[in-house]
Structure 1
Amino acid sequence: MKNPILICLCVMTLLACNQDKKETSNDILEDIPSLETTDSLIKIDTIIKKIVVVPIEKSDKEIKEELNAKGFKTYNYINPVTQDTILMQQYFMVFLKSGPIRNQNEEEGAMLQDAHLEYLSNMYQEGYADLIGPFADDGEIRGITVYNVPTLKIADSLAHLDPLVKAGRLIVEIHPWWAPKGNGLR
């Protein structure tokens, strides 16, 4: 945490010191003699300074406090091998299962499927769902959605707003699920 701040301060100090010595691009261009039909070669050295802004990351403690303030359940897990502290957050895994009403005609089924995919895409874009996908077999469980919301009640409400669930083509089974905050699939 201290290194990114130290690097930013050093870069800002260097830039402030060099501010007086900077020439504008027009000043540099005025110093270049005009080219005539001669065999002379003009060499121009250019220094390009690039500033990389490194976002200051929040500590696990700050993230945990923010999540808890929003109603999320969290806890710290200590890895017994590495002694690393891992911030765990509760998510809600929704199993989308075959529902009792599956007699829609092909056109209605296709429209419901499109609305279902659009709904899940919106849930992902709005940050309510982090993992979404169908299962590859033709079993009773058709797919999952992992909701990133603070309560079971919210996850249940969002899952029941899915057009395929509303139409009875799918039913939901919801389970609280713990996962490390910020980890992705590998």
Structure 2
Amino acid sequence: MKICLFSFLLFGILHSLSAQQPKKEFEMTEGGKTYNMKQYYMVILLKGDHRNQPKEEADKIQAAHLAGIRKLADAGIIQIAGPFAHDEDPRGIFIMDVKDIDEAKRIVDQDPAVRSGRLKYRVYPWWAAKGSTLK
């Protein structure tokens, strides 16, 4: 009886915890085609409040920023990244495949351009069909 009661309580707790976790994937059918949707995180990069570094320092920050993007892309964390074709806000985007918005923020907070104040950012949950590509 104790085992049965313990199992019932454990199931209830696990069910409650899983119900609190937002869905990260779902299927969607549109026009007779089924898409496997997945949640990613879109990072919008904006001009930071501290952009007055000497050119040599700014160039080093930018090189480290780009190296970090490559490293995260190689690790499968950044799915796509790129700048906008103007010198205004926003400056660029990342699409990140991470567990949650807090993980995205922790990673972006480590970016040399963010740490130096050259960039700041906003993060938004974003849905796309798994395997989507640019054409």
TM-score, normalization: structure 2? 0.81
Pick from 38, 44, 48 the counterpart of residue 95 of structure 1.
Answer: 44
Give the alignment of 1:1-186 within 5 angstroms: 73-79=24-30, 81=31, 83-186=32-135
Bigger strand share: 2
Considering Cα pairs closer than 8 Å and 6+ residues apart, tell me whether 1 or 2 has the greater RCO: 2
- SS for the counterpart of 2:51 is coil
- SS for the counterpart of 1:87 is strand
Q: CA deviation at 1:171?
A: 0.2
Q: CA deviation at 1:182?
A: 0.8
Larger radius of gyration: 1
Provide the aligned C-alpha RMSD in A. 1.2
The count of corresponding residues between Structure 1 and Structure 2 is 114
Percent identity of paired positions between Structure 1 and Structure 2? 37
Stretches of structure 2 that go unaligned for 5 or more consecutive residues are 1-21
Task: Find runs of 4+ consecutive structure 1 residues off by over 3 angstroms.
Answer: none
Does the 8 A contact of 1:72 with 1:150 survive in 2?
no
Stretches of structure 1 that go unaligned for 5 or more consecutive residues are 1-70
Does the 8 A contact of 1:131 with 1:146 survive in 2?
yes
Q: CA deviation at 1:72?
A: 6.8
- SS for the counterpart of 1:103 is coil
